[in-house]
Amino acid sequence: MNHRQGHIAGSRRRITQVAFASLLTTIAVSAQCPPCAAEFDDAVFLTAGVAAQDTTYGIRIRPRTTVVVFTILIMTNGTNGTVGLWSDNATRGTPDKPIVHAGWATNDVTPNWKGATFSKPTILTANQDYWVVLRTNPASSIPSLRAKSSNGQHYAYSQDDGLTWTSVGRIFEWKYRLHCCPIPNLASATAFGSACGGSSFVPSGTNAVPVFGTQSAFSVEGVRANAPALLAIGGSNLMWGAFPLPLDLTPAGAPNCSIYASLDVLGATVVSGIGTATLLLPIPRDNALLGLAFYSQWIVLDPAANRFGAAFSQGVRSVIGA
């Protein structure tokens, strides 16, 4: 490859990364999680004396398993407010920084479960401290809580919307619900379909496991050396535009070959002298992508393979995890 060809290939890799990130944001998240109860999940409204109602409260939590949180509900007589999740400041014993928050509003003035669903689901790691942060309005409303001995939930409060926090110990129990689900072994990559053409394809499904904040390697081997190659990535393995998948390419001159992934994004590279190729694609650190499935397939130009002039790998189904 000359210098100009290398520059073009590098540019295509960068364009592919941008296009791939754009594609990920347009595919609907496939993971659907049932709600799970957190603390004191019942319909009883409990009250105890508090110093002030026009206050932001934080309740420290520690999930036993890694979960993804979609919604937080609190028992309150308030008509509007905010709920959120914060990281933990272990030194101060208070909330540290906001992770996600959302507001809610209702005309219901009776004590009830009220709260909000976040625009993006949020991952909480097992055995790590976080804070459920809540605020109810108007000032006359309060969240449901009850007096407790020293072994109650650890909580803190802020009277300046979270700019500063005061830790007051464990003298109350707070009622809230987290709608969440466990995500064990979510990230995966699984080959499907059959390779075809003049060479024996072995896509590297193991190296293509997509994990947040990493570059996922999509590889192919056993192909024609120094040949141009395309990596096709799509959001579907059922339809490519008007064409149902898999699409049989026998009529096009590629017997026993099929397209398995919608060709939404194409990445170009050149096969090495030993018949291998790899493209690295960044997986954005975006909670909204949790559980998203996408599909990939290699296409390598090979005039000796068939009348179509190309060989095709199996498809690979990848699921993004943490």
Domain limits of the chain?
A: 3-31+186-319, 36-182
Two tokens, residue 141: 């409303």
pLDDT in the model for residue 203: 57
- Most confident residue range from 35-39, 171-175, 304-308: 304-308
- Phi and psi at 217, nearest 5°, equal -90, 120
* CA dist., res. 189 & res. 261, Å (int): 14
The answer, yes or no, to whether residue 22 has pLDDT greater than 50, is: yes
The answer, yes or no, to whether residue 6 has pLDDT greater than 60, is: no
Residue of higher predicted confidence among 85 and 39: 85
pLDDT in the model for residue 3: 35
Average pLDDT, rounded, for the chain? 79
Confidence band for 26, pLDDT divided at 50, 70 and 90:
low
Confidence band for 284, pLDDT divided at 50, 70 and 90:
confident
Residue of higher predicted confidence among 118 and 139: 118
pLDDT in the model for residue 161: 87
CATH architecture designation of domain 36-182: Sandwich (2.60)
In this prediction the pTM is 0.57
In this structure, which topology does domain 3-31+186-319 adopt according to CATH? S-adenosyl-L-methionine-dependent methyltransferases (2.20.130)
pLDDT in the model for residue 40: 61
